[in-house]
Every structure is written in C-alpha cells, then in structure tokens.
Amino acid sequence: MNEKIKKITEKVKVIFKQITFYVVIAVTCIASFFIGRYYDKITKKNQKPVIKIETIKKGDVNLAIDQTNNLIIIDNKTGNYTIYENSVGKTIFSLYAKNVWSQHNNVKNENP
C-alpha cells in the first residue's frame, strides 16, 4: 500500500511540475503582451507629430481666391485642391502683391 502511495505521489509531483511549467510560460506570455501594449500607448503619447514641408514650383500649382476670400491652391498635375481660410488667403495675396509690386517698381526705377 505504501508503494502505491509513493508511486501516486511521484506521478502527482511530475504532473504538478509540468503544470507549473506551463502556467509560468502562460503568465509570462500574457504579461509580455500587456507590457508591450501599454508601452506602445505610453510612447505614442509623448511623440511629437512630424512636420512635413514640401517645396512646390510656381508652375506646378495655380492660386485662386474665391468670393469669400478663401485661398485655393490647385495642383496642375492631379487637379487636387486645398482650401485655406480667408485670413490665410489675404495674407498670402498681400505678400504676393507686395512682391510683384516691388519687382514692378524696381523695373521702372532702373530704366528712367
């Protein structure tokens, strides 16, 4: 009878070791998943958005101002357009007009 109890206890010990091994692996996998998930969320909160600046040639776009003074920039190749608020349109138009006007005045002044 003692031999049967010893055999049973040995089998239980082996089974218990295997179960604990798989439980440790499962807990490690689950913990790693949640750590990775929260790490990703935490690091994304602190990232600053990347500002992308594109240079565009004058011949690639057309500028227009609609009846409400909104600036419209039209891409000649694709036909896509971007609409900006009227304050942006007024500012860019006044800068462009000053640039054109100063070039025009310089030409007149150089040839009296």
- Give pLDDT, residue 110: 47
- Give pLDDT, residue 27: 95
For residues 23-55, one letter each, b for 16 or more C-beta atoms within 10 angstroms of the residue's C-beta and e for the rest, the string is eeeeeeeeeeeeeeeeeeeeeeeeeeeeeeeee
The residue ranges of every structural domain in the chain are: 1-52, 58-110
> Does the global pTM surpass 0.85?
no
- Percent of the chain topping pLDDT 90: 20
Q: What average pLDDT does the segment 66-91 reach?
A: 84
- Give pLDDT, residue 40: 76
The secondary structure of residue 47, as a DSSP letter, is P
Say yes or no to pLDDT of 99 above 80.
Answer: no
The answer to whether residues 75 and 63 touch, using CB atoms and an 8 Å cutoff, is: no
